[in-house]
């Protein structure tokens, strides 16, 4: 299977959203310097994995470009600390969370970098710790 470059996903995007996505790519590169960027063609996203060991990586974030906005998403977002309450998706998905941006509604790079670093931290936790966080959050919601 041939690997697509991120530009293949961005080529059809409206120029303002493509600019937001390109900016996000830079934010991710600065916040997670060892992250591996690759297109997940079936989902039409640019995905990011961080290495846990020399032979194992874990999926921590994605960029999804749509006509009206761009999402920076986190597959384990429900487990992430979000002190600024900028993650969306509660009540929509069980685990994933995301931020939504347009050129008119930017989120400061420092806030996004903190979320990306938190996503990498959560992804690296042992399964039992992730389960304990999930159980504690479920208890908080009831």
Contacts of 61 (CB under 8 A, 6+ apart): 28, 32, 35, 47, 48, 72, 73, 74, 75, 116, 119
User: pLDDT of 62-90, one tens digit each?
Assistant: 999 999 999 999 999 999 999 999 999 99
Does residue 4 carry a pLDDT above 50? Answer: yes
Kindly report the pTM of this predicted structure: 0.91
Burial of 18 (0-12, 13-18, 19+ CB in 10 A): middle
The predicted pLDDT at position 65 comes to: 97
Please tell me the class of the 6-141 domain.
Answer: alpha beta
pLDDT at 142: 52
Domain boundaries, the chain: 6-141
Predicted local distance difference test score (pLDDT) of residue 125: 92
Quick one: average pLDDT of 92-118?
A: 96
Residue 90: strand pairing partners: 93
């Amino acid at each position: 299977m041939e690997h697509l470059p991120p530009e293949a996903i961005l080529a059809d995007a409206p120029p303002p959203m493509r600019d937001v996505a390109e900016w996000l790519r830079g934010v991710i590169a600065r916040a997670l310097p060892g992250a591996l960027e690759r297109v997940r063609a079936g989902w039409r996203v640019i995905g990011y994995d961080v290495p846990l060991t020399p032979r194992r990586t874990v999926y921590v974030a994605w960029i999804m470009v749509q006509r009206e906005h761009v999402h920076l998403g986190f597959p384990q977002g429900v487990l992430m600390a979000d002190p600024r309450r900028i993650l969306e998706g509660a009540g929509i998905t069980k685990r994933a969370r995301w931020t939504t941006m347009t050129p008119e509604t930017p989120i400061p790079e420092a806030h996004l970098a903190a979320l990306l670093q938190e996503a990498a931290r959560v992804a690296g936790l042992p399964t039992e710790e992730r389960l304990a966080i999930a159980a504690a959050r479920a208890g908080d919601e009831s």
